Amino acid sequence: MKDISLGQYYPIKSPVHRLDPRTKMIAVILYIITLFLIPMLPNYINNGGTLHDYLIIAAVCYGLIFILLIVAILFSRVPILRVLKSIKGILFLLIFMSLISMFFYGGPISEGSWQWSWWNLNLSTESLINAGIMSLRLVLLILGPTILTLTTTPTDLTAGIESLMSPLKLIKFPVRIFALIMSLALSLIPGLMDETAKIINAQKSRGAHFDSRNLFKKAKAMMPILIPLFISAFKRADDLANAMDSRCFNSSKKRTKMKRLSFKARDLSLLLFVASLIGIIVYRGGLYMQSIMIGGIVLGGVAVVFMLFGIIESVVLKRTDG
Amino acid sequence: MEIIRFENVKFKYNAGHIDEVKAVDGISFSVKEGEFLALCGHNGSGKSTLAKLMNGLEVPSSGNVYIGGMDINEETKLTASEKVGQVMLAPLLMLGGELPRLNTKIKKNLFEIRKTVGVVFQNPDNQMVATIIEDDVAFGPENLGLKPKEIRQRVDWALESVGMLEYKEGAPFRLSGGQKQRIAIAGVLAIKPKVIVLDESTSMLDPSGRQEVLDVIKRLNKEEGMTVIMITHFMEEAAMCDRVIVLKEGKILLDGGREIFKETEKIREAGLELPIAARVAFRLKEKGMDIKDGIVEIGELVERL
């Protein structure tokens, strides 16, 4: 089985693995918001800051985030290389983006800084710093959710999403079904991957070429794979529906769950820790990006409210269940 | 006590269309509790349709399928009026020596029917609903609305009885075919059905995987007293059962104990092969060897020789 980014759970026991999935999800959401709260160089300078100040702010903010990340990785006991592997997937995007932002930097350049230009391409101290920070941000952006998926089983993830979305029940959104669909999709992925490999081999053995360099030929060669894959996916779905019906799905009874999420002291302390880090970062750098900051706070607020709902619900359910 | 009854059941696929297929054509039989039954037939003999008819996934075009043996005293969360009805009916039905039977045609019965009859299908990969084994097994009891503690007990018990308890936190796709199918059986067992139907559940497995599954099924029947209906086209598997029904083109051709293996001609007619031991014994007898009739298992044959 090759790497499947959605199901890359790393099965060991660690403090991070033990955390409530909702805690981890909220923490990751807050983490992402924070990343976007740190000002970018052009905005900072346009708002009257200097390059020197910016470097200090960036060092503090990214330093804090970096510490948070390292702590999380160390506590999760996942090998660092395994975590870093996730960057491989965005390597092309990363290089592309940093090149663009390096050569086409549109922000103001201070007088004393180093500059170089050829044809339409311009380099300067600012553009290099900007490109560096942008790639750093992208890498950090990927690593946070990677730790989440490495330390949380897909089942727990869907349970977490289900719980966080539970306020939507108020507007009759079928949260339970939605979560089930997600977990079904996750459980079907390995099977479908196997199926694809089988079909590719079958078509190859009948003389199909998939290694043409021509893009059109390549696209055309996909058809004999896609059609059987679709047919087998529908067949599979049909079988699955029968199997689910046979196991009493769709009964009028209210479904219960075997595993119930529980929000513990360690979850609260982690959230407080993350929140305080974010507090520092907003205080240091967020002042310059008010619009984004307001958006971030609103998002974070919504997330927290959702989480509270989920927690309250689970506490209430526990009470009633005895 | 009778638990499944087919009364002159007919079933057509695509009824009313040009490509109408008569899958089941007037079948009547009944299954007693604790029986170990094999339904054999060639491809297209209607045997898989029978499995779907047994738990209401399909409803007969004509005739009726009844699922019986629902224990009156069992704690089933019925509405007050249903309860009263059940209690009032019970003595009447008891007089006739029967417990209330549920017709698969009535939608309201489906939940009880599926609680009574669990079906394990052919392809183990297509029956998995979760990415973790114990979550997959828990799917059934969760649908029953049981309490978390009870679900946990049932899941552990079900995995224990198929010998897969140690894998409970693993992922199904890493397992072998036989192991996956045992998980699928555990998923049905966790509902605690009275009848377990295996719809060609061993046909996609290698010999060792098949043996694993067959051992589990045998044990469930002998030790837990579960009614087992095995749908298969392997006559070797049918030979382990106490009763065999041979189907041909949607009709019952043979129905009986092991003595049906004597009906060589009819079994051939149904497009099936006799078990190897029976074939060897038959040939030896043709060559004039003194051999008893009714040998179906290798062990018996070896002993005889």
Q: What tens digit of pLDDT does each residue of A222-259 get?
A: 888 889 999 988 988 899 999 999 998 876 667 788 88
Please name the member of A243, A246, A252 whose beta carbon is closest to the beta carbon of B126. A243
- Which sign does the torsion angle of CA B265, B267, B270, B275 carry? negative
Question: Is the confidence at residue B84, as pLDDT, over 70?
Answer: no
The string of DSSP letters for B185-233 reads HHHHHTT--SEEEEESTTTTS-HHHHHHHHHHHHHHHHHS--EEEEEES
**Which parts of A19-124 fold into alpha helices (H)?**
21-37, 41-46, 51-76, 80-84, 91-103
- Measured distance CA(B232)–CA(B218) in Å, rounded: 15
Q: Is the CB of B127 inside 8 Å of chain A's CB atoms?
A: yes
Domains of chain B: 2-274 (3.40.50.300)
Chain position carrying tokens 């008891």: B94
Interface size between A and B, measured as CB pairs under 8 A: 122
Q: Taking CB atoms and an 8 Å limit, are B131 and A187 in contact across chains?
A: yes
Q: Are the Cβ atoms of A255 and B143 closer than 8 angstroms?
A: yes
Strands (E), A165-242: none
Closest approach of A184 to chain B, Cα-based (Å): 5
- Average pLDDT, stretch B65-81? 57
Q: How far apart are CA B162 and CA B212, in angstroms?
A: 9
Residue of B nearest to A253 (CA): B145
Rounded CA-CA distance A313/B3 in Å is 42
Q: Which residues of B touch A250 (CB under 8 A)?
A: 143
pLDDT score of B46 more than 50: yes
pTM: predicted TM-score of the whole model, two decimal places: 0.74
- Residue B20, sorted as left (phi over 0), alpha (psi -120 to 50) or beta, turns out to be beta
pLDDT, tens digit (0-9, with 9 covering 90-100), for B157-182: 999 988 899 998 888 877 888 899 99
Residue B97 touches chain A, beta carbons under 8 Å: no
Question: What pLDDT is stored for residue B305 in this prediction?
Answer: 76
Interface of A with B (CB under 8 A): 1, 7, 11, 153-155, 180, 183-184, 186-187, 190-191, 194, 235-236, 239-240, 242-260, 321
Mean pLDDT of A273-288: 69
Q: Convert the pLDDT of each residue in B205-250 to its tens digit.
A: 888 888 888 998 999 899 888 999 999 988 888 888 899 999 988 8
Enter the ipTM: 0.81
Do the Cβ atoms of B121 and A254 come within 8 Å?
no
pLDDT value for B221: 92
In this structure, what token pair is assigned to residue A193?
């991957």
Q: What is the pLDDT of residues A153-203, one digit of tens each?
A: 877 888 888 888 888 888 888 888 888 888 888 778 778 888 888 898 898
Residue for token pair 């619900």: A313
Task: Inform me whether the C-beta atom of residue B135 falls under 8 Å from chain A C-beta atoms.
Answer: yes
A35-81 pLDDT, tens digit per residue, is: 887 778 887 787 777 888 888 888 888 888 888 888 889 988 889 88
Residues A191, B125: C-beta atoms closer than 8 Å? yes
Closest listed residue to residue B151, CA positions, set A256, A318, A154, A251:
A256
Q: What is the pLDDT of residues A304-317, one digit of tens each?
A: 766 666 666 555 55
User: For residue range B88-143, what is the model confidence (pLDDT) as tens digits?
Assistant: 555 555 444 445 678 888 888 888 889 889 999 988 888 888 888 998 999 999 99
Q: At A9, list the tokens.
A: 């759970």
Write out the H or E segment, with its range, that includes residue B3.
strand B2-13
What's the one-letter identity of residue A317? L
Question: Does B169 sit within 8 Å of A253, measured CB to CB?
Answer: no
